[in-house]
Structures are given as structure tokens and as C-alpha cells.
Amino acid sequence: MRHAYPAEAIRAAEAPALAAGEPLMERAAYAVAAAVVAEARRRGLALVGARALVLAGGGNNGGDGLFAAAHLARRGLVVTAALLRERVHPEGLAAARRAGVRLLPVSGDGAQGHTGMPAPGLAPVLAVADDADIWIDAIAGIGLTGGLRGVSGALVAALNERRERSILDPLVVAIDVPSGLESDVGAVPGEAVRADVTVTMIGLKPALLLPPAAARAGRVELVDLGLAEALAARPAPVRRLLGVDVADLWPVPGPADHKYTRGVVGLLAGSDAYPGAAVLASSGALRTGCGMVRYLGPEGAARMVLARHPEVVTAAGRVQAMVLGPGIAVGAPVPESAGRALVDSEVALVVDAGGLDWLPTDPTALAGRRVVLTPHAGELARLLTTRGGDPVERSTIEADPARWAQRATELTGATVLLKGAVTVVAQPGGTVFSQSDGTGWLATAGSGDVLAGILGALLAGSDAPAGELAAAAALVHGRAGVWAARNRRGSEGGPSPVGDPVSATGRGPLDDRDPGAPITASDIAAAVPEVVRGILAH
């Protein structure tokens, strides 16, 4: 499991080592330089003579950058350090000077020009940036609040604009967190560096796991500086499950199990307008491995479910979990079976789409129950507007998903799985999980219905906390999307020409070299057993 710690915990963990005189900054700088060298080699960039620009702020983050600049200069790189403050770390500055680093004081008058162009004082550093193969971001570290201001903000805005509007493709390495991000939150308050690699020290920070900030970090490399044990004793408010964690959670049947002990999922999904949601939610639940699926929706959708899955039972009976709402329109009346499930404290619930309207208005009504809401940002905005009294826009949710998911837990008393490129799971008074296991190909109609079925099966078959199971469902769903995109089969049933099938673990993100192929929600459901097998085998 990955754990992310607030800035306060990072400082507390390093304080004894600093008091004892341990050279943490030198270790950090060496790790940054090593990461730059390794990534440059992966890209086929010759090191000797390569041009590097270090953007050095005035704090310890700038000191890390200046010491790293010295290391790289001694490796044969041509290094320029842009000094963004009048006073920078003195020992780091001295080390850079001794190593032959070119020192470039930067003056931007703290503002953009009247035409929106960068202030004239930024021209020298922008010229260096245009010629550089590598940019190292050491502007601001974990102490930043309120975003970048003055010359730093103007410079980062100009650099971002250059990367977007030109053929510039430097390797961008950030130290600790990309400058412009606030370490403890997922929101991006203004201009921020867009890194290819972030080398973070001591422990992960929430901004490196939470959306949308995490998208600015690129690949994250953790260097614990020998303080892992000191940090592990402190609370981690943001976490990310790995495959090994899901293997520990997954309900695997034993010789004494039968269909009822393996979990029975009730599905109230699908409608005359959206009958396919019933089929997809059923597929997700069945492929996950529950003992039985009871479909309790309308007759037309029931016929479609049985045509695809004759093992589904359409008779009422006992269930351990109910999935309510996929494919059901906003404002639909509450069916009798849904009403019973909502008041039965023994039944775990997954509530999606139109089912969100059926939730009790009193948040204490769900207290202590295993209830997971699975909205996308638009659905969550509507729910918050209805429950909170003040209008909330989808764009507001997308600007800070973790904050608003946590707000929804306060208003409903339920665990909230907020779907997105990075899926956030918030629990009442508990840890936030952040899962980034999928691919953009998952953004397809019916994908969320499959996820609801997966989660319903897990809740039915396991007594683990709802938040952990929700994060596990998101991981499996994401990996199933990756597996399907890489192993998409053609119409004749054989492997598509996309490439060789990957391991059933689904590990490894798709990239420009292997972008995968378009998939449907049915493909995602079909891939779930292979992903589960891979997870349980490792």
C-alpha cells in the first residue's frame, strides 16, 4: 500500500535527523541527480554536454536543486542555475559555484507585461530553457500555500506556455512536489510545473496521489532518506491500494463454501430506457465471483439479463448486498425492494445514478452501515446541490475531487467512490483512497455499471470495511480496462493485431508506444476474471 503524509508529518519525521546533523539535503540532491541521469539514459540522451536548467527557489527545495546541479555538472552536463530569489541556500550556492555551474539571477518584476507576455527580466532564463535538454524544478517545496506568486508564477506560466505551443520537449524533473502544488491537497491553485518525473523525499505527499494535482507529477520516485520507520508511525490520510493489498482483501472460496456463504448480490438496475445497465451490472458481479446474483428490476431488462446470463436468479430472496440505481433515471420512484434494502441495516449497499435520489435525507440513517455511493462528478454535483443547499458545478468537483467527496460523506453518512481518471474513495471520518489503475479507454458508456456490479459482489462476499473494498473494486476495474485494451479480440474471436497479450495482472500503464485499443463495457467485465487471477497469483 502507498501512504501519503501531510507536510507536518514529514517535518516531524525529519526533525530528529536534522538535529543530529545528518546530511539529508546532500542525500536528497544525490538522489535527484541519479534520477535525472537514469531518466536521461532511458530517453537516449547523451549526458556529457547535455544542457540542464535548474530553477532554484529560496528555500530548502532550492538548496536541493543547487546541490543536484553541482552533482550533474561534475558528470559532464552543462548546467545553468536560475536563481529566483536574491537569497538562496548558501551552502548549495557555494557547491554549485565550485562545480562550475553557471549562475543566472532572474528578475521578472513579479508580474506579466501589459500584453500578457512574460516580463522582460525573464528573457534570459527563457532563452536558456529553450536550449536546455533537462529542466529541474526546485522552486518551491512542501511549504507552499496559495500557489506561486511573483517572478516564480510568471516564469512557470511562461515555461508551460512554451511547452504547449512549441516543439520543446525537455525532460522535466521536479523535486519533492511540482512547484505550484500545495503538498497536502489535490487542488491546483494556479500555475504549476508539469513534471515528467517527481523525486519526492521521505514520504509521498497527498498532492502526488490526489487529482488533479497528481497529473502534474508524472512518474513519482520515492527516496525515504533513511526515515521510513520514523514516518510510518504517523497517520497517513491518503492511501493507494496495490495488487498485494487487494489479494489480501479478496474473498476466495474454500471447500466448505456454498453459494450463500460466497455472497448473494441483489441488483435493482436498468430501466425501459437503459436496459443494458442491468446486463452490465450483472456481468460485473458475476465475473467478480459472488455466489449468486438476484435481479429484481423490470421484466424487459430481466429478459435481457437472462438471455446473457441464465445463471442469474430473478426471484426475490435474501441478499448480503444490493446494487441500486445503474441505468435508472433521475427522479424515478423508489421501488419497494429498494425501500426495504435502504432500511435493512444488515444489507450492504452500492448506490449509483438514479438511486442517489433514494437516499435518506438524514445522514445518521446510514451511520455504521456499509454503504458506498458511486457517482461521477456530474452526479456528485447534483447530490451536493440538493443536500447542501448551495449550487455546486461539475467543474468545481473536478477541481478538487477529494474535498467534495469528503463533503458528500458528511451530508450522506456513506462512503463515496467518486469516479474519474483517478478514482477517489472518501469515508466518514476516515482515510481517503486514491486509485489510478486504469486507462482513458474506460471512459465509455456502461463502464460505471460494471464497476457497481464488481463492488456489489465484494460487499456481499467480504466483511472488510466498505472503503477498502471500494478502492479494491476501483483497482480491479481499472486493471480490467487496461487488460482489455491490450488484449482486445477481433470479431472472429482471435487476438487483435494490437500486440501480444500482457500478463493477467494488468500491470503497467498504457503509453504512446502501446496505447491499446478501444473497448466496451462488456470487454471490461470479461477481463475481470483474468485480472483477479493475476492478482491472486502474485
Question: Which residues are within 8 A (CB) of 426 and not within 5 positions of it... i.e. 6 or more apart?
Answer: 402, 405, 406, 408, 409, 415, 416, 418, 432, 467
Q: Is 160 annotated as a binding residue?
A: no
Q: Is 60 annotated as a binding residue?
A: yes
Residue 265 and residue 290 in contact, taking contact as beta carbons nearer than 8 Å = yes
Q: Is 141 annotated as a binding residue?
A: yes
Q: Is 420 annotated as a binding residue?
A: yes
Q: Is 59 annotated as a binding residue?
A: no
Q: Is 448 annotated as a binding residue?
A: yes
Q: Is 309 annotated as a binding residue?
A: no
- Distance (Å, whole) CA 17 – CA 20: 5
H-type alpha helices, 79-149: 90-98, 123-131
Q: Using the 8-state DSSP alphabet, how is residue 492 labeled?
A: T
- Distance (Å, whole) CA 538 – CA 529: 15
Q: Is 88 annotated as a binding residue?
A: no
Q: Is 143 annotated as a binding residue?
A: yes
Q: Is 179 annotated as a binding residue?
A: yes
- Distance (Å, whole) CA 434 – CA 419: 10
If one counts every other C-beta atom within 10 angstroms of the C-beta of residue 73, the result is 23
Q: Is 328 annotated as a binding residue?
A: no
Q: Report how far apart, in Å, the C-alpha atoms of 483 and of each of 243, 289, 470 are.
A: 14, 18, 20
In the block, cell 437503459 appears at 274
Give 104's strand partners: 82
**What is the identity of the amino acid at 399?**
A
Q: Is 62 annotated as a binding residue?
A: yes
Q: Is 291 annotated as a binding residue?
A: no
Q: Is 421 annotated as a binding residue?
A: yes
Q: Is 327 annotated as a binding residue?
A: yes
Q: Is 80 annotated as a binding residue?
A: no
Q: Is 449 annotated as a binding residue?
A: yes
Ramachandran angles phi, psi of 215, nearest 5°: -65, -20
Q: Is 241 annotated as a binding residue?
A: no
Q: Residue 67: which of 17, 119, 31, 35 has the closest Cα?
A: 31
- Distance (Å, whole) CA 129 – CA 166: 12
In the block, cell 512557470 appears at 156
Residue stretches of the annotated binding site for AMP: 419-423, 448
Residue stretches of the annotated binding site: 60-64, 137, 141-147, 176, 179, 277, 327, 376, 419-423, 448-449
Residue stretches of the annotated binding site for K(+): 61, 137, 179
Residue stretches of the annotated binding site for (6S)-NADPHX: 60-64, 141-147, 176, 277, 327, 376, 449
